[in-house]
Chains A and B, each alone.
Chain A
């Protein structure tokens, strides 16, 4: 059985996307992802070795210089390995710029703490038009 819950959010970059959730409790610099695979390559990052490609990324925040963040988004985009959409916990100007430039749907201000209500593997739908995030829990873990 799968439980479906919807939350309101705020749209930053428009779009309607869905995918499997991957949660990053730490900020990310997208320059430190392998564009070929979408894998995080940053030393000591909790997501190191895992791919963010085509997923719904639940992200604490962005980090890194303005230039490299945008280039990171660009390189991932060229290879088709950007996340499908991003739910941000703490918005940050450079991250906003990068998402707008590469037209990656992005929302913030989820009605509930996204780290509490979304875990890796959940199916998440972002509708940035209606400002709604819908989370479908997997039937059972493992």
Chain B
């Protein structure tokens, strides 16, 4: 790779061992993908997780004297102060939670603890080169906003935050952003839930390809939440980091433009029955439940408002914990607008800074949960909690009845 003098200095250790480690990672990545040089970036998002491997890397950089040149927004781990009051966590889990916050604070990250930066706290412009990790955030900024990011790991995004550069390859080039498969959609998704199921279905066939979604019928432009769910699920069942929707996303005014004049490798038809079948394939059948968990990805203010309308005058069943994971700013808006009171009066609780895949939720494991997110199901299942997957209104009914 051709490095600038400044980049060479970082690589040679002239800016300290932490910066050197970060640069070594970016050079290895650049070399792997035949990048000729680095490109400066002004935004990054780090998929902080609170897992030991992730915290280890951040600590390694901090102890090597590194701080962030470009302060990144961060993913959630879990609300250490709030949730330990409710649930049992071990000494070492608590310790790791606290350490994670400490090392990310020391490195100079912007501690947003939210997995939907593209919808609020870190919004890149069209054509802007960025390094965004978090598998649901990368397709959002690429496809919906038209920014340019490769599929980054939390470690490589943090390395970019420290050095201010990312290797120039892959989706940073216009020529690599064209669609490679056509999705011919007869189905009519009507809410974020349907878009999520659609995404999960497409991801199974897409792998790391760039799907171009073409709808036979589209009455309204999809909302940001719907697009977020689509991308999140394509990156769960597959590893999609870029997609197009003809007539909707900015690089796809027409199908020809989305494909950059090339022919798709294949066409995937999506009929209405495919969505129903997809739901049935991944969802548990039903029964008594102990948890309703929403907010994977984090619920936005608009989703909280919708939730408040559904919960008005209802009461959550006494055997059920109803948690909604969201961002600090969405909670504040819900409080100001009066929806928080409605939600809490019904027995539902909001929590910020928290991911579904964290140790604080282990007391529910073994029982059945309900969620509107296949991604939530996918990651919780590995920790021993099966989920029924349903749209929001059905999740609320299940919470009230205690079963589904």
Contact indicator B155/A98 (Cβ below 8 Å)? yes
Tell me, yes or no, whether B24 is within 8 Å of chain A by CB.
Answer: yes
Contact indicator B51/A96 (Cβ below 8 Å)? no
Contact of B150 among A13, A73, A74, A93 (CB under 8 A): A93
Contact indicator B54/A97 (Cβ below 8 Å)? no
Contacts A66-B135, A100-B28; is A93 near B156 (CB within 8 Å)? yes
Interface size of B in residues (CB-CB distance below 8 Å): 26
Task: Spot the interface stretch: B11-19, B29-37, B105-113, B317-325.
Answer: B29-37
Tell me, yes or no, whether B244 is within 8 Å of chain A by CB.
Answer: no
- Chain B residues near A91 (CB, 8 Å)? 32-33
Contacts A71-B54, A93-B150, A98-B153; is A65 near B135 (CB within 8 Å)? yes
Assembly CA distance A69 to B133 (angstroms)? 13
Assembly CA distance A13 to B27 (angstroms)? 10
Tell me, yes or no, whether B6 is within 8 Å of chain A by CB.
Answer: no
- Chain B residues near A63 (CB, 8 Å)? 239
Tell me, yes or no, whether B154 is within 8 Å of chain A by CB.
Answer: yes
Contact indicator B152/A66 (Cβ below 8 Å)? yes
- Chain A residues near B154 (CB, 8 Å)? 66-67, 70
- Chain B residues near A69 (CB, 8 Å)? 153
- Chain B residues near A98 (CB, 8 Å)? 53, 153, 155
Contact indicator A66/B47 (Cβ below 8 Å)? yes
Contact indicator B25/A71 (Cβ below 8 Å)? no
Contact indicator B25/A72 (Cβ below 8 Å)? no
Q: How many A-B residue pairs have CB under 8 A?
A: 82
Closest A residue to B239 by beta carbon equals: A63
Contact indicator B32/A97 (Cβ below 8 Å)? no
Tell me, yes or no, whether A101 is within 8 Å of chain B by CB.
Answer: yes
Tell me, yes or no, whether B364 is within 8 Å of chain A by CB.
Answer: no
- Chain B residues near A101 (CB, 8 Å)? 25, 53, 56-57, 60, 155
Contacts A94-B151, A97-B155; is A70 near B53 (CB within 8 Å)? yes
Tell me, yes or no, whether A108 is within 8 Å of chain B by CB.
Answer: yes
Nearest Cβ on chain B to A120's Cβ, whole angstroms: 26
Residues A96-111 near B (CB distance < 8 A)? 96-101, 108
Tell me, yes or no, whether A75 is within 8 Å of chain B by CB.
Answer: yes
Contact indicator A96/B28 (Cβ below 8 Å)? yes
Residues A46-74 near B (CB distance < 8 A)? 63, 65-74
Tell me, yes or no, whether B49 is within 8 Å of chain A by CB.
Answer: yes
Candidate in B25, B150, B155 with the most chain A CB atoms within 10 angstroms = B155
Tell me, yes or no, whether B88 is within 8 Å of chain A by CB.
Answer: no
**What size tier do the contact residues of chain A reach?**
20 to 34
- Chain B residues near A93 (CB, 8 Å)? 29, 32-33, 150-153, 156
* Chain A interface main SS type: helix
Contact indicator B155/A70 (Cβ below 8 Å)? yes
Contacts A66-B133, A93-B150; is A71 near B51 (CB within 8 Å)? yes
Assembly CA distance A10 to B28 (angstroms)? 11
Tell me, yes or no, whether A40 is within 8 Å of chain B by CB.
Answer: no
Tell me, yes or no, whether A84 is within 8 Å of chain B by CB.
Answer: no
Tell me, yes or no, whether A12 is within 8 Å of chain B by CB.
Answer: yes
- Chain B residues near A100 (CB, 8 Å)? 24-25, 28-29, 155
Tell me, yes or no, whether B52 is within 8 Å of chain A by CB.
Answer: yes
Contact indicator A67/B47 (Cβ below 8 Å)? yes
Contacts A93-B151, A97-B155; is A73 near B53 (CB within 8 Å)? yes
Contacts A70-B154, A101-B25, A101-B155; is A96 near B32 (CB within 8 Å)? yes
Assembly CA distance A72 to B149 (angstroms)? 24
Q: List 19 A-B contacts (CB under 8 A).
A: A13-B28, A66-B153, A66-B154, A69-B153, A70-B51, A70-B155, A74-B52, A78-B52, A93-B32, A93-B150, A96-B32, A97-B153, A97-B155, A98-B53, A98-B155, A100-B155, A101-B53, A101-B57, A101-B155
Residues of B in contact with A (beta carbons under 8 Å apart): 24-25, 28-29, 31-33, 47, 49, 51-54, 56-57, 60, 133, 135, 150-156, 239
Q: Given known contacts A67-B49, A67-B154, A97-B29, what 7 new A-B pairs fall within 8 Å (CB)? A: A12-B28, A67-B47, A67-B53, A70-B51, A71-B52, A94-B153, A101-B60
Residues of A in contact with B (beta carbons under 8 Å apart): 10, 12-13, 63, 65-75, 78, 91, 93-94, 96-101, 108
The 5 closest A-B pairs by CB, nearest first: A74-B53, A66-B153, A71-B53, A97-B153, A70-B53
